[in-house]
Structure 1
Amino acid sequence: MENEAQRTASAGVGRRLADRITAVWDLLTGRPVSLYGVSVLRIGYGLLYLIFLLREFPHRDEIWGPGSAWTPALAQQLFEQTGWFSVLVLSDSRAYFELCYVLALVTAALFLLGWRTRVLSVLFAVVVTSFHSRAIFMTDGGDNLVLLMSLYLVLTACGRRWSLDARRDRLKSVRAGDVPEPTRSPFSHQLRDARTTLITVVHNCGMFVIAVQVCFLYGSAGLYKVQGASWGGGTALHYVLNLELFRPWPAFSHFVDEHTLVVAVAGYMTVLLQVAFPFVLFGRLKYPVLAMLLGMHIGIAVLMGLPLFSGAMIVADAVFLPDRFYTFLPHLCRRAAQRTDSSRPVPERATDPGTVPVQGGPGGAPRSKHRVMLPAGRKGTMPTPGPASHQVPPDNGRRTGADPRR
């Protein structure tokens, strides 16, 4: 009996393990996950890098061009040691650099719009890598995150939603709706199914890598802060607010620094959110955590003058919102618009507060009126007898022997 019970328990554990493996395999190969989330990543990072290149357009030569203090020869020597690569160092010509810069702007714009994303995702990764490695000593945490995400987005199907590719596929399916599908051989069907499965697996693996990257980023940052005495004492943000390098608005930073209790609570909440972030992703608690992280990054962008870093982190956080959240947003916006329209008062005709409304006789015919002085000293209108056909008898309009149908 004991051996039989052990065999039954082992069989149960084996079945549960097989069910878990089957569920993971179905999740990996069944359908691509977070298509709206990865589209937000594509739009967000494409827009961020486009704005970044446009902002640095007047200083492009000093940062990445032939006139930079970090010359292409020095960059090439560093590449031999680090293994980096940049298309900007292939030539010292100014015309070549200007052409590369224009192509980078076009690539970022087309990647943002989602045009031929399979090819543009690779070109966007090349552009980000080239500009990042060309001026490796002039980057910050935002540039590093955008670089990593541009490489990860190559693996994903980031053009399935909210893109020109999605619009083209939708129009193509509408046009081919009544056209019968051509017959294919069994080998062609198998090849097509294998291609679809491969794309799905690569996409899901890419999304998993992106999620793990963000979790490691928050977790490591929080654990690193815990080790510092200033973060434990609640004074870390005080020192940050007094750094001249990160004070774009000195008066505002000084105003915030005066509220010591708020600064200390914000420091503790920052550490708590970053450490707890990887552990709240599988429940509803992640929504308030993401909202607080959004406020934290907005504060970093305003107080420390790091908009690229804050924008990159906000976009990365958006990948943890489910697709049903993004599909519900249009309905929510329409409901808000309808409520706004319904709450507006219906315009009515303005009437003179000193006038008495015109009274009508039988049949709604108006009576003539003239201006008279009311007892309170206000001007008004009083009805006067009109034609005989419109006069009201003293018996409230009921005439003796008259036909009541009149």
Structure 2
Amino acid sequence: MGLQTNAQKVKIDGVAVVIGKNIVLDSDIAKFKQEVELRSEGKVKISDCEMLDELMQQKLMAHHAVVDSVIVSDAEVSSRVDRSIQFFTQQYGSIEKVIKAYGFNDLDDLKKELTSVQTENVLIEKEQQNITEKVDVTPEEVRVYFNGLKEKGELPQFPAEIELAQIVIKAIPTKEENERIIAKLNSIKKEIEEGSSFKMKAIINSDDPGVTNNGGQYTVTKESSFIKEFKEMAFTLDVGQVSKPFKSDFGYHIMQLHAIKGNTRIASHILMQPEVPDEKLNEIKEKAEKIILEIREGKITFAEAVKKYSNDETTKNNGGLIVNPSTGESKFDLTRMDPAFYARVSDLKKGEMTEPFYDEERSGDKMFKFIIMKNRTDTHIADIIEDYVKIQQLALQKKKEETITKWSKDKIKDTYIKIGAVYNKCTFSKNWKKEVNK
């Protein structure tokens, strides 16, 4: 579903199908088709009929989610709307450009349409979960599934996977440097309260990389994915008030509240990050080199060194194990890694470590770190013992898809469906036309 409102769209394009109380427009088909081709970088071409088949399945789910009284909370939808707005803002550079690109009047208009889109998405996901929640596979079903693929010569090839652990030594700013930053922010606060432009002060002083696009200004709700301290300050200030300097993982901020619109706050901030001198960086690099030497000489294990030396809170308590943000698991597919990261670890054998290297986080934290190859599996054809969990997941996914197909077949019979004349010639994977002999 696109970002134009349904009322606007019905006026300018035709209704392709009606499923229960849901409609699919010609423009929906064109947009989804374009998205599929873009995501596959042009490798997948899909016809209008195939795309409509997929869209009708989604609308069938959405319709019956409402029939089955699936509950969608405001918080679930709001958090998705906020993520969508952040994504579009990153793509276009500013929220004003997003609003203009999609032809909306203002942010409220855009939010209204995104709320409609995301409400439908949550309905579909929850209905799918309801349909498949009791589906499971037995070890025998996994074995039959694997043997079936083997007989047809269709066993998947699993890519090389690796497990990595790290030790992170951060450069901690001095007390004097933190105090210098706080004094500077207090000075800027005083100048703003005496009439200086917050936006200009932000552009000149802020370490927030988005400041050139938005002058430090953000739209904040309680469901926004901003850091806790940022949200709390936005909901504490009065309109026009400039905060005292406050600390977050990103550094030190001051904030001014511009407007209150219901549950939304419009606020600007200036972020300043403490500086770390080169001598300090050289010092922590030497420390990392000494730790590597201790591990190589057998004086301490990697896991013991993590507990003793690492400053990284996310990995310190699990032996330094790095979690793949895309999957939530510790394994990384070598073919889908960041190129710079890939170059650093791809040649490591199991048990080998990198040399210490410099890194800097979005928060401004500067550090040296080194990585050990905990485990690695080379590219291989699926094996029932070595890859049992993966094969089990594939078998379960197939069974869930079959369950949804059977559910759809039953629901199509008693759901109002009207297909536009243009699409009646299509051959569909499901009996959307309700033909008697199918």
Q: TM-score w.r.t. structure 2 length?
A: 0.19
Q: Which has the higher strand share?
A: 2
Q: TM-score w.r.t. structure 1 length?
A: 0.20
Greater radius of gyration (CA): 1
* Greater RCO (CA < 8 Å, at least 6 residues apart): 2
